[in-house]
Structure 1
Amino acid sequence: MEQTVQSTSTASRVSNPVMEPGPLSETPTGTWRDFVTVTKIGITVANMMTVFAGLWLASNGQAAGDLIFYTLIGTALVIMAGTCLNNYIDRDLDKNMERTSKRALPSGRLNATHVLWLGVGFALAGTLILTFLVNPLTAFLGLIGLFVYVVIYTMWLKRSSTTSTVWGGISGAVPIVMGWTAFTGEMNFGAWMLFLWMFLWQPPHFLALAIRRAEDYGKAGIPLLPVVKGFDVTKRHMIRYVSAMVPVSFLMYLIPNMGYTYLIASLILGFGWLGLSIVGFVVKDTIKWSRISFVYSLIYLTVLSIVMIVEPYL
């Protein structure tokens, strides 16, 4: 049994960020690059890939250019709203973690109030674009994802429960569905299957990162699964989600416009991830294994998203 990473009392370490003063520095010196960092541009771009995959799959490669543009820009703004608000709320936690202490807010380079209003502005702009230039359902889904990410995950469960990773998976699964509904305008079989697939992908992806950063999360008092329950329990949770994801990815072949290329790729990559998860129970270097698992999860998502995009031409 591997050693559980112990954190100090979470309740005493995690304060209420909303009640804290805005900037941590009297003279913020942030540049435009700092404002870009609070949007977590890498996360936004990765989500745009899944949005486009959902849209292109739903339309069988026939979506109009203006619909693609408004769907991508509207969804990107909503996602960036979530990342800005996440940075604002988590600034007290971030200053206690090595990998986040130099971010613009905990280091005092940006005024927290400015980031708060930037997030609110992005949310309003993105919602308006999606409502009037795409369709109301897609805008509503964006708001659901934003609420879960900001309120349920960031403000509440991340600071109090090991289930935060699971609930956070809801918001992570919404973008690909928004791409689908942007074209179809309805939550049909394809939309629900895409949601379930992406929801099951989220926990093993993030838990691999959580294992790598367990010591850092423990110091910040964040009760993630590897911090509270240890690595072995975390591995068992990861394999459960991967085991459930594989048959779901197989059933996604029933979605209209899916083809044999997707079916073959999903089975190869899915069973590859399952095998990697099983290996995790016998490896000597869990941190190295978690790093490989994290990278594999990104490769899995990227390859299958690309296959969904090119499927109409195969």
Structure 2
Amino acid sequence: MEHEATLKNSDSPFPSATDTFIQEKSATWRDYWQLTKPGIILSNLLTTFAGFWVASEASPDVATLIFTMLGAALIIGSGGALNNYWDRELDQKMQRTKNRATATGKVHPRNVLVLGLVLLVASLVVLTLLVNPLAAVCALMGHIFYVLIYTPMKRVTTLNTVIGGISGAMPPLIGWAAVTENLDPGAWILFLILFLWQSPHFLALAMLKVEDYRSGGLPMLPVVRGFAETKRQMFFWGAALLPVSLMLFLYAPVGYVYLATATILGVIYLVLLFQGFKTKDDIAWAKKLFGYSLIYLTGMCAAMIISAI
């Protein structure tokens, strides 16, 4: 059965009286699965595994690894669901998000809120009781930065990308803490690699979706400051990423395979970033850089895993 109605435009993340009358259709488990942002879960599990594998020096306790990955997946899924819940009315304004189940009303906001909170509690129980409290704390901090700080900040400041980078850099800390029960320099270098990588990656996406963000009223850097300033800041982050990535060789059990891979991938990344200053087609360049940034992250994680063997 379908109930026709229209969402009230509001910036409030909390259920309003109008939420009761949102158009509802028969939601499937796939709708709920998509609201947890499975693509983000997968990419973050890759960095969680890399942190765990390197910290264990390629000799993981299998049970701990399974529970760590489960706990990380649950809390990342929780963040995705709560982000969709918070942004449900904003998502209606943008082409790339207007068909989300929360934006169309296919899934009721209360159900999304409950899903997010249940996944959060389940994650903290798994990580605290079956892994260790420090891993749970790392997961919770990433969740707080993503849901309670980044999500509202993206409505008011271009710094949202930097803040979002903090939450995105927490997964390898979860993996590392699960093994060692501490966060030594190797863990923090892993954190910095992910943190520095994210700004060029997501600013490239912001360039590709600049009109979408403009129509949504979001103060993303390309919208507020233009492409030239965006490319300048992207180069800054990329320039810092190269030396930091090489430092992992000194503070973590990774070998020359990692060192060579990080050098090659980092130099290519820097060259591509520099080309942005001379390009005549900003959108084509941003698309190329966005694609390469995914290759960079995958290659770096693979090098860590192989080199630690």
- TM-score, normalization by structure 1: 0.93
Q: How does 1:6-17 map to 2 (within 5 A)?
A: 15-17=11-13
Aligned to 2:222: 226
Q: Deviations over 1:88-122 (max 9, x none)?
A: 00111110000110111101110111000100000
Give the 3-state SS of the residue equivalent to 2:89 in structure 1. Answer: helix
C-alpha distance in structure 1 between counterparts of 2:122 and 2:205, whole Å:
32
CA contact (8 A) 2:101 2:107 kept: yes
The answer to whether 1:262 aligns with 2:258 is yes
Q: 1:281 to 1:183 in 2, by over 3 A?
A: same
The equivalent position to 1:196 in structure 2, one of 183, 192, 195, is 192
The equivalent of 1:211 in structure 2 is 207
Q: Does 1:304 align with 2:296?
A: no
- Quote the residue 2:286 is aligned against: 290
Asked if 1 retains the 8 angstrom alpha-carbon contact of 2:37 and 2:77, the reply is yes
- SS across alignment from 1:17: coil
Checking the alignment, whether the CA contact within 8 Å between 2:15 and 2:110 is kept in structure 1 is no
Q: How does 1:67-106 map onto structure 2 within 5 Å?
A: 67-106=64-103
Equivalent residue number for residue 121 of structure 1: 118
Q: Give the SS at the match of 1:15.
A: coil
Amino acid at match of 2:144: F
Say which of 54, 59, 75 aligns to 2:56: 59
Is this contact kept in 2: 1:238–1:277, CA < 8 A? yes
SS in 2 for 1:159: coil
For 1:42 and 1:208, how far apart are their aligned partners in 2?
Answer: 18
C-alpha change, 1:67 and 1:27, in structure 2 (3 Å) is same
**Identity in percent:** 45
- Alignment partner, residue 5 of structure 2: none
Q: What root-mean-square deviation, in Å, do the aligned CA atoms of Structure 1 and Structure 2 show?
A: 1.2
In the aligned structure 2, how far is the partner of 1:274 from the partner of 1:14?
Answer: 41
Measured after TM superposition, the shift of residue 255 of structure 1 is 2.3
Measure the CA separation in 2 of the matches of 1:122 and 1:37: 14
Instruction: Answer whether contact 1:28 1:111 (CA < 8 A) is retained.
Output: no
Q: Is the 8 A contact 2:138 2:170 kept in 1?
A: yes
* Equivalence for 1:4: none
Q: Give the Å deviation of 1:24.
A: 6.5
Higher relative contact order (CA 8 A, sep 6+): 1
Q: Secondary structure at the match of 2:169?
A: helix
The residue number in structure 2 matching 1:7 is none
- Inter-partner Cα distance in structure 2 for 1:137 and 1:67: 14
* CA-CA distance at 1:189 after TM superposition: 0.8
Matches within 5 A, 1:150-165: 150-155=147-152, 157-165=153-161
Partner of 1:5: none
Gaps of 5+ in 2: 1-8
Instruction: Tell me the alpha carbon deviations over residues 273-302 of structure 1, each in whole angstroms, 9 at most, x when there is no partner.
Output: 100001011111111110111111110000
Counterpart residue type for residue 172 of structure 1: G
1:122-201 correspondence to structure 2 within 5 Å: 122-155=119-152, 157-201=153-197
Distance 1:135 1:204, change over 3 A: same
Unaligned runs of 5+ in 1: 1-12
Matched, 1:276 2:272: yes
Q: CA deviation at 1:23?
A: 6.0
Distance 2:23 2:280 in 1: 48
Q: Verify the 8 A CA contact 1:50 1:175 in the aligned structure 2.
A: yes
The amino acid of 1:43's aligned partner reads: I
SS of the equivalent of 1:106 reads helix
Matched-pair contact (CA < 8 Å) for 2:127–2:136: yes
Number of residues of Structure 1 aligned to a counterpart in Structure 2: 300
Structure 2 CA distance for aligned equivalents of residues 86 and 16 of structure 1: 13
1:158-206 alpha-carbon deviations (Å, 9 max, x no partner): 1100000001100000001111111010011111111111111111110
Report the counterpart of residue 6 of structure 2 in structure 1. none
Once residues 24 and 221 of structure 1 are traced to their aligned partners in structure 2, the CA distance between those partners, rounded to angstroms, is: 25
* Separation in structure 2 between the aligned mates of residue 165 and residue 256 of structure 1, nearest angstrom: 28
Residue of structure 1 equivalent to 2:24: 27
In 2: Cα distance, 1:256 partner to 1:207 partner: 29
Deviates more, 1:249-258 or 1:260-269: 249-258
Alpha-carbon separation, structure 2, partners of 1:178 and 1:24: 40
Question: Given residue 312 of structure 1, which amino acid in structure 2 is its aligned partner?
Answer: A
Contact 1:208 1:291 survives alignment (8 Å)? yes
Runs of 4+ in 1 over 4 A off after TM superposition: none
Deviation (angstroms), 1:17: 2.8
